């Protein structure tokens, strides 16, 4: 039996020495918001935070994560989707199919915690996640909206939805 600190709770699990953190999170702890994409740490769909550092959980053996390290998944970012990054993502309709988006949000949240006003270069460096739907422009816009305090209009990023409402 091994133990992880996930989303503020100590959770016990059993796995082989080399079982990736991703599979412990998904299959043993039921936290399926973190996605399997490429399996080789390239696409970022599996991104979680370990002590605040964005980490690709598909290649990180769970056994190498100590119970004193804080793992945060998309389910733990906020209790109700109210994290500023999640709100900006919703306001700007960032996701398309959505598969990559929990990883994108986790990467963006880590970036904005470290750098409250990221430059385009900062965003380019931090957001190496791959989106098969090509939502990159909206990801960048949402990160900038958060940097502007969540005000999409002040950030010059307001969008008009098909129902006429403005975000």
Residues that bind ligand FES (CB under 6 A): 95-101, 131-133, 135
In the complex, what is the shortest distance from the CB of residue 64 to ligand FES, in angstroms, rounded to a whole number? 28
Phi, psi of 64 (to 5 degrees): -90, 0
Minimum CB separation of residue 85 from ligand FES in Å reads 15
Q: Return the number of the residue (24 or 100) whose C-beta is nearest ligand FES.
A: 100
Of 131 and 145, which CB lies nearer to ligand FES in the complex structure?
131
> Which residue's CB is nearer to ligand FES, number 24 or number 92?
92
- Note whether 43 and 58 are within 8 A (CB): no
Q: Which residue has the tokens 């900062």?
A: 122
Q: What is the DSSP string of 95-124?
A: -SS-TTHHHHHHHHHHHHHH-SS--HHHHH
- Crossing angle of the two packed helices 101-114 and 84-91, in degrees rounded to 10: 130
Cβ atoms of 47 and 62 closer than 8 Å: no
Cβ at position 10, least distance to ligand FES in Å: 32
Cα distance between residue 25 and residue 38, in whole Å? 17
Min dist. Cβ of residue 159 to ligand FES (A): 16
Residue 49 DSSP SS3: strand
| Closer residue to ligand FES, CB minimum distance, 11 or 140 | 140
Minimum distance from CB of 59 to ligand FES (Å)? 20
Nearer to ligand FES, 134 or 149 (CB): 134
């Amino acid at each position: 039996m091994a133990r992880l600190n996930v989303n503020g709770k100590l959770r016990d699990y059993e796995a082989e020495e080399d079982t990736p953190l991703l599979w412990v999170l998904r299959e043993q702890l039921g936290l399926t918001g973190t996605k399997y994409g490429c399996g080789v740490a390239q696409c970022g769909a599996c991104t979680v935070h370990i002590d605040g550092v964005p980490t690709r959980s598909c290649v990180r053996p769970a056994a190498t994560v100590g119970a004193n390290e804080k793992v945060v998944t998309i389910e733990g970012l906020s209790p109700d989707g109210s994290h500023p990054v999640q709100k900006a993502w919703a306001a700007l309709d960032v996701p398309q199919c959505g598969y990559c988006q929990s990883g994108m949000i986790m990467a963006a949240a880590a970036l904005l915690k470290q750098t409250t006003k990221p430059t385009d270069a900062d965003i380019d460096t931090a957001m190496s996640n791959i989106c098969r739907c090509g939502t990159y422009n909206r990801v960048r816009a949402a990160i900038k909206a958060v940097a502007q305090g969540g005000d999409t209009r002040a950030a010059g990023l307001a969008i008009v939805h098909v129902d006429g409402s403005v975000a």
